[in-house]
């Protein structure tokens, strides 16, 4: 297990970040093609057909902002990693798999949010899909800490703060998922609220003096 | 708010630009998959079916050039930013959300431009969708100026020129949107005219001697 | 016109190449999603349905190789440009518009190549679509030469060789397009032959001693 | 053939890797859009419609991990190449063509895995499609060795180890393809098993002392 001894080849970090940025950029941009052009016949109105897509526009904005926030965080915190190993790469791939999955539940939410018979399932899938990258990122972080891949000049209480924050984030998304079994709108409100919260700037890294 | 004091880590700018370039490149390339292959039956002619797609080809060219111009401008002016902060990143994400949205109104315009009953709505959506990135870019620029993220060696009158230009651009797209309630063709002519205008080279940055 | 005096900011070339590479990579990878999964009913065979897609597989391979060759050439010759200006960027965007368009005629060719009634039109569209990036690249090259954006250490006869090669390439694709009005298979053979020819290594840049 | 004498321009490697990373990132992210949103009518349940998509989720995870592993390997081993030539670029394009093809057989597998009449064909296509990038990568490697593009400080036994490993990998995928003619589930088990095996870290490069 001498592998973790390696210092990160600077070019290597750049390729991990470039590949991750690619997946973020593609997942975020693919969101729009899940919104199909409405096909209206003779007597129908395009205006009302476009209006009927409001849940799709809402789901688009919500997922776009979520992926954007994950990108910004990935961007900020990847600089804290100074070494890498094979399993770290694989966990990053797992995390990206959760990000790349998001266009599907977003499209399902957009299609069924205003369908009272199916709304609950659509929101449950969406809450579950938002929990996945939170779990993935937590695993990346815990693994990086356990294997000493994190910059050792980081203040220990800052590391503890981040661990606590990621655990809390997982708990909140898990809570939203559980609540979605009771009431879809409450679960969705929590998910939107969490997104707004994450729009606030993250606490800045603190290093040992 | 000590955050704006930070000088931009060069690697950080590169990742913002790389992510933005990714979104530009994907949005611009996704435009084509909104044009579906026409399905023609026994007696029909593929030639006339392909010809009937002229509004889609036109919308493809128009949106491709628009996104290309935004990319070139983003590319030119991002070098004027020498610092960054979290909200700047978030506003850039908002701007990219407007860029990534463009394949949808482009597809709607392509489908309904030659349908006299629905043309007005399709043009209105398109004019609205072109206003969105103009607003987004103005917000990025105003925020960057307000928080001192812009290179302080830029000549003040050049900064005022850019602010005026971005405000004018917003006014013109808003005007096109308003005019689309009167006449779709006039609104579309303004939008095409603006695009041709933006093909001209931007005024080059002037620095304090 | 002092603009052409500027030496290319190294970061700037990288962003043009990165954006272009993004469009190449996306256009080339989007080719596959134009091949729809066949839907077979009870008595039908998936094997024969997959077999019936042979024109789509062929068109996929042909267009993939074409875009790959354009990428490799763009990659080789962009290093010969040592300055840039706004219109050069815009011509590069025009060239990329022709590249990004290719998934559409590829899909049309895949769908109608084995339909004797529509084959001619599909091949004509494909030959026309292959002419477009050839024209676009010629314009990029001629403009760069006319405005002195090309490395002045390049041997004049090498520049003349490239100009002749690009003109010939345009003539051959234009010829394939014209021949497609006589016989689709001959036109397609020329197009495939040209692609095989371009698989040969390009002549290497010669510099003035 | 003096071409192989050239040392790899560092910027050039970066562009090959950037383009390859782009194709990897796009192919991996496109996997999700092959899973269509289920359309359920009045009496039907979205939950069971989403549940019925289990083969699609499974195929998504399997192909995502496979492409992720190929990316990580491409990423590790491309640093062993210190020179390049035109045919090397073309073989890399061929390899990427096999990677970019994967979303299609993945979608076919997802659609027909639980259809007992068509399962065999879907698994056969999938096993064949996994053999293709294995063959492509072997060709890249053998060519690079034959033309002396590989870092000459690599230990000869390490080079022999890699060649043996790539040959074995080809043999195993070819075996899975052959077995798919006997039993689809056995073939699929081998494919999944190989994927799990490749999740283990690759042996690290050894250099001559």
Q: Which residue has the tokens 């070339």?
A: C13
Q: Which domain holds residue B121?
A: 9-36+44-198
pLDDT band at A11; cut points 50, 70, 90: low
Residue A204 counted as domain residue: no
Q: What is the pLDDT of residue B152?
A: 87
Residue of B nearest to C31 (CA): B33
Question: Which of C25, C97, C125 is opposite residue B64, by nearest beta carbon?
Answer: C97
Instruction: Report chain A's terminal Cα–Cα distance, integer Å.
Output: 31
C15 touches chain B (CB under 8 A): yes
- Pick B188 or A1 by higher pLDDT: B188
Q: Give B135-193 pLDDT, tens digit per residue.
A: 999 999 999 999 988 888 889 999 999 999 999 999 999 999 999 999 999 999 999 99
The shortest C-alpha distance from B133 to chain A (Å) reads 14
CB contact A89 to D (< 8 Å): yes
Q: Mean pLDDT throughout A106-125?
A: 93
Touching subunits of C (3+ CB pairs, under 8 Å) are B, D
CA A82 to each of CA A14, A85, A89, D4: distance values in angstroms, whole numbers, following the listed order: 12, 11, 13, 35
Mean pLDDT score, A14-42: 88
Across the interface, of B33, B38, B72, the residue whose CB is closest to C89 is B72
Contacts of C54 in chain D (CB under 8 A): none
Q: Which subunits have 3 or more CB–CB pairs within 8 Å of chain D? A: A, C
> B117 phi and psi, to 5 degrees?
-75, -30
- Contact at CB, D12 and C75, closer than 8 angstroms: yes
Task: Locate the chain D residue with the closest alpha carbon to A97.
Answer: D64
Least confident of B4-18, B90-104, D44-58: B4-18
On the question of pLDDT at B77 being above 90, the answer is no
Residue D77's pLDDT is what?
A: 79
Lowest mean pLDDT among A29-38, B55-64, D81-90, D180-189: D81-90
How far is it between the farthest Cα atoms of chain B?
A: 72
Residue C3's pLDDT band (cuts 50, 70, 90): very low
Query: Is the separation of the CB atoms in C112 and B43 below 8 Å?
Result: no
ipTM value: 0.88
In angstroms, what separates the C-alpha of C208 from chain B's closest C-alpha? 33
SS3 D81: strand
Residue B209 confidence class, pLDDT cut points 50, 70, 90: low
C-alpha distance from D107 to closest chain C C-alpha (Å): 7
φ, ψ for residue B85, nearest 5 deg: -150, 180
The pair of structure tokens assigned to C57 is 């597989």
Q: What is the CA radius of gyration of chain B?
A: 20
B interface test, pick of A37, A44, A48, A201 with most B CB neighbours within 10 Å = A37
Of the two residues B41 and D3, the one the predictor is more confident about is: B41
Interface of B with C in 154-183 (CB under 8 A): none
Query: Which residues of chain D are within 8 Å of residue A122 when distances are taken between CB atoms?
Result: 46
Task: State both tokens at D75.
Answer: 């990423």
Nearest to D50 among A23, A100, A121 (CB): A121
> What's the pLDDT band for A35 if we cut at 50, 70, 90?
very high
Number of domains in chain B: 1
**Token pair for C12:** 């700037």
Cβ neighbours around A190 below 10 Å, total: 18
**Residue C133 covered by a domain:** yes
> In this predicted model, what pLDDT tens digit does every residue of D40-75 receive, in sequence order?
876 788 999 999 999 999 999 999 999 999 988 887
D59 interfaces chain C, CB cutoff of 8 Å: no
- Residue D11 confidence (pLDDT): 52
Tens of pLDDT, residues A160-199: 999 999 999 999 999 999 999 999 999 999 999 988 888 8
Q: Looking at the partner chain, which of B3, B97, B122 has a beta carbon nearest the beta carbon of A64? A: B97
What's the pLDDT tens digit per position in A131-158? Answer: 999 999 999 999 999 998 888 888 999 9
Lowest mean pLDDT among B110-124, C82-96, D10-24, D97-111: D10-24
- Above 60 in pLDDT, residue B1? no
Q: Touching check for B51 and chain C: CB below 8 Å?
A: no
Give the model's confidence band at C1: pLDDT under 50 very low, under 70 low, under 90 confident, else very high.
Answer: very low
Task: Mutation target for B interface from C118, C123, C125, C140: give the one with most B CBs within 10 A.
Answer: C118
Measured between CA atoms, how close is C206 to chain B, in angstroms? 31
- What are the C-alpha distances in Å from B153 to residues A152, B162, C7, D32? 37, 15, 20, 47
Q: What mean pLDDT is predicted for residues A68-84?
A: 84
For residue C25, give the nearest of D19, D89, D118 by CB distance: D19
CA B31, chain centre distance (Å): 13
- In 3-state terms, what secondary structure has residue A145? helix
Q: Which residue has the tokens 């979605």?
A: A180
Nearest to C100 by CA among C36, C33, C22: C22
Any chain B CB within 8 A of the CB of A79? yes
Residues A36 and A58: their CA atoms lie apart, in Å, by: 15
Q: Which residues pair with A81 in a beta bridge?
A: A150
Structure confidence at residue D16 as a pLDDT band (50, 70, 90): confident
Q: Is the dihedral of CA C150, C152, C153, C158 positive or negative?
A: positive
Q: Give the C-alpha separation, C56 to C36, whole Å.
A: 10
**Coil vs helix vs strand at C206:** coil
Of chain C, the percentage scoring pLDDT greater than 90 comes to 59
Q: List pLDDT tens digits, range C171-207.
A: 999 999 999 999 999 999 999 998 888 888 777 777 7
Distance CA B96, CA C126 (A): 33
Over residues A87-101, the pLDDT tens digits come to 888 899 999 999 999
Contacting residues of D for C28, CB less than 8 Å apart: 23, 96, 100
Mutate to test the interface with A, among B6, B19, B129 (most CBs of A within 10 A): B19
Q: What's the burial of A94, exposed, middle or buried (CB within 10 Å: 0-12/13-18/19+)?
A: buried
Give Cα separations from A46 to B54, B57, B103, B111, B123 (angstroms).
20, 21, 17, 11, 11
- Determine, for residues C93 and B68 on separate chains, whether the beta-carbon distance falls below 8 Å: yes
Q: What are the contacts of D180-189 at 24+ separation with CB within 8 A?
A: D180/D120, D180/D123, D180/D124, D180/D127, D181/D120, D181/D124, D184/D119, D184/D120, D184/D122, D184/D123, D184/D124, D187/D123, D187/D124, D187/D127, D188/D123, D188/D126, D188/D127
- Residue B65's pLDDT band (cuts 50, 70, 90): very high
Query: pLDDT tens-digit profile of C55-80?
Result: 999 999 999 999 999 988 887 778 78
User: Where do runs of H (alpha helix) occur along chain A?
Assistant: 10-30, 46-51, 54-77, 86-101, 103-112, 119-146, 156-179, 184-198
| Residue C177 is assigned to a structural domain of this protein | yes
Considering the domain boundaries, does residue A205 fall inside one?
Answer: no
The full 3-state SS of chain B, as one line of letters, equals: CHHHHCCCCHHHHHHHHHHHHHHHHHHHHHHHHHCCCCCCCCCCCHHHHHHCCHHHHHHHHHHHHHHHHHHHHHHHHHHHECCCCHHHHHHHHHHHHHHHHCHHHHHHHHHHCCCCCCHHHHHHHHHHHHHHHHHHHHHHHHHHHHCCCECCCECHHHHHHHHHHHHHHHHHHHHHHHHCCCCHHHHHHHHHHHHHHHCCCCCCCCECC
The pTM score is 0.90
Return the number of CB contacts < 8 Å for C and D: 92
Res C29: pLDDT: 94
**Is the CB of C35 inside 8 Å of chain B's CB atoms?**
no
Residue from D28, D74, D121 to probe the interface with C (highest C Cβ count within 10 Å): D121
Chain A residues touching residue B104 (CB < 8 angstroms): 32, 35, 37
Whether C128 and chain B come into contact, CB under 8 Å, resolves to no
The phi and psi torsions of D154 (rounded to 5 degrees) equal -65, 140
Task: Please name the residues in contact with A48: beta carbons below 8 A apart, sequence gap of 6 or more.
Answer: none
Give, in order, the Cα–Cα distances in Å from D2 to each of C33, D12, D16, D86: 40, 18, 21, 12
Cα dihedral C42, C48, C53, C57 sign: positive
Instruction: Kindly state whether D51 is in contact with chain A, defined as any CB-CB distance less than 8 angstroms.
Output: no
Helix or strand run (H / E) with residue D18:
helix D10-30
C16 in a domain, yes or no?
yes
Residue C7 clears pLDDT 50, i.e. is over it: no
D196 touching A (Cβ < 8 Å):
no
Q: Which residues of B touch C15 (CB under 8 A)?
A: 17, 21, 75
Determine the Cα–Cα distance for residues B114 and B111; give it in Å rounded to an integer: 8
- Looking at the complex, report in whole angstroms how far the Cα of residue B171 sits from the nearest Cα belonging to chain C: 25
Chains that touch A (3 or more CB pairs under 8 A): B, D
Pair of tokens at residue B18:
């790389």
Give domain status of residue A30, yes or no. Answer: yes
Q: Which residues are CB-neighbours of C184 under 8 A, at least 6 positions away?
A: C119, C120, C122, C123, C124
Contact between A104 and D36 (Cβ < 8 Å):
no
For residue D154, count CB atoms less than 10 angstroms from its CB and return exposed for 0-12, middle for 13-18, buried for 19 or more.
middle
Band of residue A126 on the pLDDT scale cut at 50, 70, 90: very high
pLDDT band of B7, cuts 50, 70, 90: very low
- Give ∠ CA A75-A77-A83 in degrees, rounded to 5: 110
Q: Which two tokens stand for residue D169?
A: 């990998």
Residue with tokens 């003619």: D181
Interface test with C, best of D4, D9, D16, D23 (most C CBs within 10 A): D23
Give the chain D residue whose CA is nearest to the CA of C73.
Answer: D86
Q: What pLDDT sits at residue A5? A: 35
User: Measured on CA atoms in the order D108, D111, D113, D118, is the torsion positive or negative?
Assistant: negative
- To the nearest whole Å, the CA of B206 is away from the closest chain A CA by 31
D201 touching A, CB under 8 A?
A: yes
Q: What is the mean pLDDT of chain C?
A: 87
Is A79 domain-assigned? yes
Spatial contact of A87 and A114, defined as CB atoms under 8 Å apart: no
Give the model's pLDDT for residue B13: 66
- For position C11, what pLDDT does the model report? 52
Whether residues B30 and C34 touch (CB distance < 8 A) is answered with no
Burial, A8: exposed, middle or buried (Cβ in 10 Å; 0-12, 13-18, 19+)?
Answer: middle
Q: Is the dihedral of CA B171, B173, B177, B180 positive or negative?
A: positive
Helices (H), ranges, C41-183: 46-51, 54-77, 86-101, 103-112, 119-146, 156-179
CA distance C20 to chain D (A): 10
- The answer, yes or no, to whether residue B3 has pLDDT greater than 70, is no
Among B9, B99, B104, B181, pick the best mutation site for testing chain A contact (most A Cβ within 10 A). B104
In a domain, C21, yes or no: yes
C197 in reach of chain D (CB within 8 A): no
Determine whether the interchain pair B37/C111 forms a contact, defined as Cβ–Cβ distance below 8 Å: yes
């Amino acid at each position: 297990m001498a592998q973790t001894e390696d210092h990160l080849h600077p070019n290597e970090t750049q390729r991990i970040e470039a590949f991750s940025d690619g997946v973020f950029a593609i997942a975020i941009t693919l969101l729009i093609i899940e919104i199909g052009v409405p096909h209206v016949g003779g007597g129908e109105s395009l205006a009302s057909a476009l209006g009927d897509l409001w849940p799709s526009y809402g789901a688009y904005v919500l997922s776009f902002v979520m992926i954007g926030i994950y990108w910004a965080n990935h961007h900020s915190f990847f600089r804290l990693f100074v070494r890498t190993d094979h399993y770290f790469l694989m966990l990053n791939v797992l995390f990206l798999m959760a990000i790349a999955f998001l266009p599907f539940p977003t499209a399902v939410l957009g299609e069924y949010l205003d369908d009272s018979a199916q709304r609950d399932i659509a929101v449950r899938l969406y809450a579950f899909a938002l929990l996945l990258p939170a779990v993935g990122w937590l695993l990346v972080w815990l693994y990086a800490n356990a294997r000493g891949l994190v910059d050792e000049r980081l203040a220990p209480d800052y590391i503890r703060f981040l661990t606590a924050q990621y655990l809390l984030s997982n708990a909140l998304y898990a809570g939203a998922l559980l609540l979605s079994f009771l009431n879809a709108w409450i679960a969705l409100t929590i998910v939107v609220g969490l997104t707004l919260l994450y729009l606030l700037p993250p606490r800045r890294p603190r290093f040992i003096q």
